[in-house]
């Protein structure tokens, strides 16, 4: 049965395993270094014992020589030398006794050395006394000289044994210290390799269990935003799996909402638009007098009814357009088109509306006619929307200016009005659906709140940008950019016809 871990537990595992390995490595390395230090200390101790034993060996030889001198021709210098030898021998024997106190064998050997040195001292003192006893003293001197030589030989044998034992200990300890240091170096390299391998395994595990699954979640996020089929659900019980399950649940709910929206659009398109179109025709016939001339009050009611029906039809058309744009069902016919011809067509569409409000629309002078890559009808729709808004929010006897600017490989269209402007708090969301500066604008100005959202969607489908610059009380400048057409590169060629570089309409209507 697989262990199910949360991301928190995986993070702890990622930190704990290397840390535990490092602790084991440090403890092991410390033990090895401690053992190496012990062996080095034993080697140094052996060196010190050997040095002390060799010193005693030299002293024993010198004692034999001093003893002989005392027996043959004693003098103050020889006596002083004998005292020095005895004093030095006593110091070194005590030092050797302190150093060699680890084993019974060492203690026994040192005890023998101490006894021999004691006898040596006694023999040397006896020689000093015998030098004053005449013939008997001479016989005693010879006996003491022989005794000193025998003691020196025995002492030398014991000391050589001590030196041999300590030399063996020194060599063994030194060899062990070298072996331990070599093991420490090997441990460091092995630990390095294991650490790298462990890091790789943990990184692979973390990548497989976290990073790769997060990439799937990110992919599903994009698919959800694009309304595409999601990648199959991630297995597991951790937070990533829960997040992915939430995305799939949201996708299922969005799918249900999309189906409901399509049903609603079908109802709007067929069940509302068709009868509203029929009502529009009948209202037009009534206004035209087909049912007889209407009283003034009835004519006013018919005009209000016609305005409301037209507003509902525009709202339905805008809803259908925005749905097609969001669903990517808006097919664009991209080819070179004359910017001036598109402006002329848009101006013609809003001419009556502008005349009704006594607003003049003019196009600034352009040095050369500019062709852009676009869908002619859709860009005309954008310009008509922007012009309608500009006229709608402009005062009587004011002007709306259309400007065309070439910016590198793009062409910027600007619709400039001198209306009331847009508050700074509304500028960033003015292109959102159902956004209007004043809540009463929908009722008083007749807008649906979808025109600018449709404009933005159309421009973005062309792969370009749109925006607005506005100052409250001074007017607004709505702009959008299109890619400049490369004429002469083949294809269908421009579809535009030559037009005048300035479009003026209308003049102030008669009072």
Question: In terms of CATH architecture, what is 7-204?
Answer: Up-down Bundle (1.20)
pLDDT of residue 3: 58
pLDDT of residue 504: 40
Q: Which two tokens stand for residue 457?
A: 């969607």
Domain spans in the chain, listed from the N-terminal domain onward: 7-204, 239-325, 332-505
Q: Which two tokens stand for residue 396?
A: 């009587």
Question: For residue 226, what are the CA distances in angstroms to 329, 344, 367, 464?
Answer: 13, 36, 42, 19
Distance CA(369)–CA(502), nearest Å, equals 11
Q: Measuring CA to CA, which residue among 397, 320, 383 is closest to residue 354?
A: 397
Top CATH class, 239-325? mainly alpha
Q: Is the pTM of this model over 0.75?
A: no
Distance CA(330)–CA(442), nearest Å, equals 26
pLDDT of residue 80: 79
The CATH code of the domain at 332-505 is 3.30.565.10
Element holding 417 (H helix, E strand): none
pLDDT of residue 379: 93
pLDDT of residue 489: 44
Query: SS3 of 116, please?
Result: helix
pLDDT of residue 481: 95
Q: Which two tokens stand for residue 27?
A: 């403890």
Q: Please report which residue ranges of 357-440 form alpha helices under DSSP H.
A: 376-392, 424-427
Question: Cα 361 from chain centroid?
Answer: 54
Q: Measuring CA to CA, which residue among 219, 201, 211 is closest to residue 240?
A: 211
pLDDT tens by residue, the chain, 511 residues: 455 667 777 778 778 888 888 888 889 888 888 888 888 888 888 888 888 888 888 877 777 777 667 666 667 777 777 778 778 878 888 888 888 777 777 677 777 777 777 777 777 666 666 555 544 444 556 666 677 777 777 777 877 887 888 888 888 888 888 888 888 889 889 888 888 888 888 878 777 777 777 888 888 888 877 777 888 877 777 777 888 888 788 888 888 877 777 777 777 666 777 777 788 788 887 777 777 777 888 878 877 887 777 777 777 777 777 777 666 666 788 999 999 999 999 999 898 889 888 999 988 765 567 899 999 988 999 999 999 999 988 888 899 999 999 888 999 999 999 888 888 888 888 888 766 666 555 545 555 677 888 899 889 889 999 999 988 888 999 999 999 988 754 444 443 333 333 334 443 434 3
What percentage of the chain's residues is helix, strand, coil (to nearest 5)?
65, 10, 25
409 φ, ψ to 5°?
-95, 15
pLDDT of residue 444: 53
Q: Please report which residue ranges of 270-338 form alpha helices under DSSP H.
A: 273-287, 296-327
Structural contact between residues 285 and 302, judged by C-beta atoms closer than 8 angstroms: no
């Amino acid at each position: 049965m697989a262990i199910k871990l949360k991301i928190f537990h995986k993070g702890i595992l990622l930190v704990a395993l290397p840390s535990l390995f490092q602790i084991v490595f440090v403890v092991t390395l410390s033990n090895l270094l401690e053992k190496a230090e012990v062996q080095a200390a034993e080697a140094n101790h052996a060196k010190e014992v050997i040095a002390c034993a060799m010193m005693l060996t030299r002293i024993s030889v010198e004692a034999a020589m001093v003893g002989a001198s005392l027996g043959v021709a004693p003098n103050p210098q020889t006596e002083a030398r004998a005292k020095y030898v005895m004093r030095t021998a006593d110091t070194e024997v005590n030092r050797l006794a302190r150093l060699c106190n680890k084993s019974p064998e060492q203690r026994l050997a040192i005890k023998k050395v101490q006894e021999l040195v004691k006898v040596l001292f006694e023999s040397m003192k006896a020689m000093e006394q015998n030098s004053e006893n005449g013939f008997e003293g001479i016989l005693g001197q010879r006996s003491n000289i022989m005794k000193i030589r025998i003691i020196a030989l025995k002492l030398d044998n014991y000391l050589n044994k001590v030196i041999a034992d300590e030399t063996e200990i020194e060599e063994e300890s030194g060899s062990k210290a070298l072996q331990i240091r070599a093991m420490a170096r090997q441990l460091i390299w092995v630990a390095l390799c294991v650490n790298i391998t462990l890091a790789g395994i943990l990184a692979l595990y973390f990548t497989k269990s976290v990073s790769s699954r997060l990439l799937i979640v990110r992919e599903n996020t994009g698919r959800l935003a694009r309304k595409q089929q999601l990648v199959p659900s991630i297995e597991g019980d951790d937070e990533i799996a829960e997040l992915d399950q939430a995305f799939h649940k949201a996708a299922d709910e969005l799918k249900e909402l999309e189906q409901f929206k399509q049903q609603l659009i079908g109802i709007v398109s067929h069940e509302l638009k068709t009868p509203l179109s029929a009502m529009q025709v009948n209202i037009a016939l009534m206004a035209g007098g087909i049912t007889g001339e209407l009283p003034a009050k009835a004519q006013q009611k018919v005009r209000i009814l016609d305005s409301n029906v037209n507003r509902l039809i525009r709202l339905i058309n805008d809803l259908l357009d925005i749905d097609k744009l969001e669903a990517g069902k808006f097919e664009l016919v991209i080819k070179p088109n004359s910017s001036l011809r598109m402006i002329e067509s848009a101006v013609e569409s809003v001419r009556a509306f502008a005349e009704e409000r006594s607003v003049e629309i003019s196009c600034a002078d352009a040095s050369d006619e500019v062709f852009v890559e676009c869908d002619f009808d859709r860009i005309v729709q954008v310009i008509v929307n922007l012009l309608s808004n500009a006229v709608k929010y402009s005062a009587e006897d004011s002007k709306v200016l259309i400007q065309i600017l070439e910016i590198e490989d793009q062409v910027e269209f600007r619709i400039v009005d001198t209306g009331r402007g847009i508050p700074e708090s509304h500028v960033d969301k003015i292109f959102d659906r159902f956004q209007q500066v004043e809540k009463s604008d929908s009722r008083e100005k007749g807008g649906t709140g979808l025109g600018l959202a449709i404009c933005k969607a159309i421009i973005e489908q062309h792969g370009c940008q749109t925006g607005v610059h506005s100052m409250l009380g001074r007017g607004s400048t709505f702009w959008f950019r299109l890619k400049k057409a490369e004429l002469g590169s083949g294809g269908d060629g421009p579809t535009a016809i030559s037009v005048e570089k300035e479009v003026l309409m209308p003049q102030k209507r008669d009072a």
